[in-house]
Amino acid sequence: MSDPTQRSAFIAVGIRLMADDNDTALPDPATDFIVIELDGITRGSPFTTEQSNEATGSLVSGAAQVIGQAATFAFRARLRGAGPGVTYTSTVKPPLHAALSACGKRAQFQAAVAAAAITAGSATSATLATSFPATAGALVGMPLLFSSGANSGRIPLITGYTAGRVATLSENFDTALTTEQAAIPANWTYAGTSPADAAAKATDQPMAVIAFYRDGVLFKYTHCRGVLNLEGRSARPGIGGFNFSGIFAGKSDAAMPSLAALKQHAPPNLARGTDSSNVVLFNRKPLAISTWSLNDGASVTSSEDPNTTVGFGAGEIGQRTPVLTVDPLATLVANRDVLAQIASGALVPASFRYGTQAGNRWALTTPIAQAAGEGDTQRENLVGEQITAQAISQGKDAYGRDTDSILCFY
């Protein structure tokens, strides 16, 4: 039998979270595989070479010294929910749950809170009914669905939440909120963490096993942690760039698993559609952008450890400096003055919402972003701006997570 060739499009990626250091079982085809971009995979070798400096009695160098190095694996994936019409529960999660968790984005499930009349409001806030949690930071990053009243159908995101149930919102309303009914849909949020000790790290930044199948061959990686960068374009789905580092656990011949349960529905696009609320807001004003990105500004490294296969250990997530970049069309100073915001150190919210179908919607909220740079861009025959802003944590939320940015699937 001749040696068969490998087809580049016949690939699959599975990722599952490890319960402990010894939990290295392969991802389950029924639950753990994800849809990834064909051109978004980068696989690093676990080996490199170091040239010998030994004298050999010849001008020809001696044998190369093969040494181990950290094993890396990266992929890009379109962001989608569990499926149109799906209701999230504590066990029904978004498809990228494990990948996000292994990037230090700790998950939190929030059960639905039924619509109830707000008790007070302003143009940028609403005081919610007693059926909502009375815990500071409990609802940050989640959508608030308004029904009835002048703003029925609007879906602002919550950028701040007090123990008195006052929700600060991502939108600016024309008049003070007074008669609206407000609800929270069942959702999963993901936010970065800063674990204080080893026990917290196991919960906040769990490790993962990654399986990469390529037409009859399996590459396995264990003890992986990663970093996440997000990006998107108008009228297109959002993309997550996942970059992992861990321990290479071997290459072997293995048949492609059956992936009947793989979530293959279309991801939502960045477009308002029939929504009542604008979907891209900066400082509570709509932005006519072409592209956006949120670079976590983090690094993931694997330190030397001789007690592993090639001498490098588990991936470790470093410090984050999350930077948001958007490219809106230029406006008059009266509408937006980024230079003045930079000069004053202004702190403003920013938010993005994708999709209109329950179960396949997601949103990104940066409750506080400090404008840090601006410049001119050209979009065909129109003038644009490139704005950069650093996302800053306003302290821990109710679940001990950082609040620099929050992903929500609802």
- Per residue in 211-263, pLDDT tens? 999 999 999 999 999 999 999 999 999 999 999 999 999 999 999 999 988 99
State CA 83 to chain mean position distance: 18
- The backbone region for 170, taken as left when phi is positive above 0, alpha when psi lies in -120 to 50, beta otherwise, is alpha
Is the confidence at residue 2, as pLDDT, over 80?
no
Helix (H) or strand (E) holding 102: helix 97-102
- Are the C-beta atoms of 10 and 215 separated by less than 8 Å? yes
**Cβ-Cβ contacts under 8 Å for 202 (sequence gap 6 or more):** 20
- Are the C-beta atoms of 212 and 73 separated by less than 8 Å? yes
- Are the C-beta atoms of 159 and 367 separated by less than 8 Å? yes
Structure-model confidence comparison of residues 354 and 51, the more confident one: 354
pTM of the model: 0.95
Burial of 357 (0-12, 13-18, 19+ CB in 10 A): middle
- Are the C-beta atoms of 375 and 330 separated by less than 8 Å? no
Token pair 């290479």 in the structure block, residue? 248
**Cβ-Cβ contacts under 8 Å for 189 (sequence gap 6 or more):** 107, 108, 110, 141, 142, 406, 407, 408, 409
Question: Which is nearest to 165 in space by CA: 140, 147, 198, 194?
Answer: 140
What was the pLDDT predicted at 218? 97
What mean pLDDT, rounded, does the chain reach? 95
Q: DSSP label at 46?
A: S
Tell me the pLDDT band of 1, cut-offs 50, 70 and 90.
Answer: low
Structure-model confidence comparison of residues 55 and 104, the more confident one: 104
Amino acid letter, residue 343: A
What was the pLDDT predicted at 210? 98
SS3 210: strand
Q: DSSP label at 29?
A: T
Rounded to an integer, the average pLDDT of 362-375 is 97
What was the pLDDT predicted at 362? 98
Question: Which is nearest to 355 in space by CA: 33, 101, 78, 158?
Answer: 78
Q: Structure tokens of 393?
A: 């944590």
Strands 166-169 and 239-253, sheet pairing: unpaired
Q: How many CB atoms lie within 10 A of CB 38?
A: 10
Q: Structure tokens of 321?
A: 């400096």
Amino acid letter, residue 170: S
Share of the chain above pLDDT 70, in %: 100
Burial of 55 (0-12, 13-18, 19+ CB in 10 A): exposed
